[in-house]
Structure 1
């Protein structure tokens, strides 16, 4: 019931933003070709509305080839020539520039979210593509690090920054809680129940009372969802960002986190996580 209410509020609150997203920059793959073996890959970046995609693939001879596509992304879609290049600099060569070697045709891409979409390559049917996540498993270890939580809605702008440091075991619906050093903020991947597939975080006070809950999904270093303080309160549109990885290395331009000394677990935090996952917000 809680999850259905969350989705309903999300549709209302995010109606004006429902189609306002950009694909996440990074390595993308054709979903059906993700088998752990060498294959085709896509490097996609969109800045403002300018779309750039580098593609490594193969010729019918088996030789590797390099392609580049660029253009303007409108309404989360683009159709643009997929240009092939050759003759560029190789390892140990003198300076030389690649030259255009024609195009096999257009590539058409339509993004369905910041991490999913569909691509139609020349001579092929439409195929699903996804942002590759190859280093952050759906596990407690991936939650360790510094995170920011920013939500906006009828309560105005709300923000939290927290360093998750300590794994303290799983609740009945998750696979392992990771808490801040003071034990007043904790997060857990949900693997069963109405929030299955989401990350649930809660912030409590020193008396164990719930201050705010965060429910979101994320890919690599970014995520989206909603925050709420109770079942009867307005749900806030939520954006999250990982600032450091589990080793304390900054994921942005500058930040490098220091090591934190973990403190004992606050049992009230675990109770709040479990209660919300099973029964919803109070």
Structure 2
């Protein structure tokens, strides 16, 4: 399945929901300005339908400054006044309170996924923005850890959790199959074929029969995509959450494993991974 089709599936699966996704909380950047040098950045958070954005930027004189915008997000879009502030505490100062220094105009956002979108700042044209991923490369090593995968659709609510422990080497379509210790669940970044740019996960039983597949794109600790049970053409809207880093550090409230277990690869896991990645059936 082509990645554009994946996006269409996600959007269609989300139809009927009040909101298909919320922007991920964290550091965002103007994509075209990401050159490794100091520049502008955005801190975005959404709680319920309240959207907050803090922006660090510069005055025409070169002095640094920051702005705050708050508003309601609806249909993945926000329009809010962009307020500049001055004063307030500095390093080593006593108690001081910042003050509003004027409304510089309206800032507008439209989000195309939980990790991508567009911003229109006062006096500027619309520009692409994205969640800043500085900790996880598009590599097998970034998949190690505990993951929670929850899908919703005609099958109802389906949840899986997997602790991916070791890289078993690449399949013909990816850069490294990372599996659980029992060899019955594995995920891989796809580098070729119709799923290139996404993560493909496969769940099998002890007899090597395919149970479910997962396809998603993720940024930092969160992902979106679809899951599909073997033998059906029905795709479920999928939400993915990383629960621990590859070093075993929790990203939320999770348990810590005491032992690192060795992995035994089930030969059927690799077969189903390559079969689905190259357009094979789920039967």
TM-score normalised per structure 1: 0.93
Q: What is the number of equivalent residue pairs in this alignment?
A: 282
Question: Taking structure 1 as reference, are residues 13 and 54 closer, same or farther at Cα in structure 2, changes over 3 Å only?
Answer: closer
Deviation string 1:112-168 (CA, Å, 9 cap, x unpaired) is 221111111121111111111111111101100001111222222221111000101
Displacement of 1:248 in angstroms is 0.6
Displacement of 1:11 in angstroms is 5.6
SS at match of 1:173: coil
**Consecutive unaligned residues in structure 1, runs of 5 or more:** none
Q: Report 1:229-248 matches (<5 A).
A: 229-230=229-230, 232-248=232-248
Deviation string 1:191-230 (CA, Å, 9 cap, x unpaired) is 1111111111111111211111111111111112111123
SS at match of 1:279: coil
Distance in 2 (alpha carbons) for counterparts of 1:50 and 1:72 = 5
On the 8 A contact 1:250/1:257 being kept in 2, the answer is no
1:177 has 2:165 as partner: no
Displacement of 1:255 in angstroms is 4.3
Displacement of 1:233 in angstroms is 3.7
SS at match of 2:23: coil
Distance in 1 (alpha carbons) for counterparts of 2:119 and 2:9 = 31
Question: Taking structure 1 as reference, are residues 173 and 254 closer, same or farther at Cα in structure 2, changes over 3 Å only?
Answer: closer
1:79 has 2:61 as partner: no
- The two structures, once aligned, show a CA RMSD in angstroms of 2.1
- Report the equivalent of 2:199: 199
On the 8 A contact 1:162/1:180 being kept in 2, the answer is yes
Question: Taking structure 1 as reference, are residues 126 and 187 closer, same or farther at Cα in structure 2, changes over 3 Å only?
Answer: same
Question: Taking structure 1 as reference, are residues 3 and 94 closer, same or farther at Cα in structure 2, changes over 3 Å only?
Answer: closer
Distance in 2 (alpha carbons) for counterparts of 1:143 and 1:76 = 28
Moved more, 247-256 or 97-106: 247-256
- Report the equivalent of 2:271: 271
Q: Report 1:215-230 matches (<5 A).
A: 215-230=215-230
- Report the equivalent of 2:24: 24
Question: Taking structure 1 as reference, are residues 106 and 154 closer, same or farther at Cα in structure 2, changes over 3 Å only?
Answer: closer
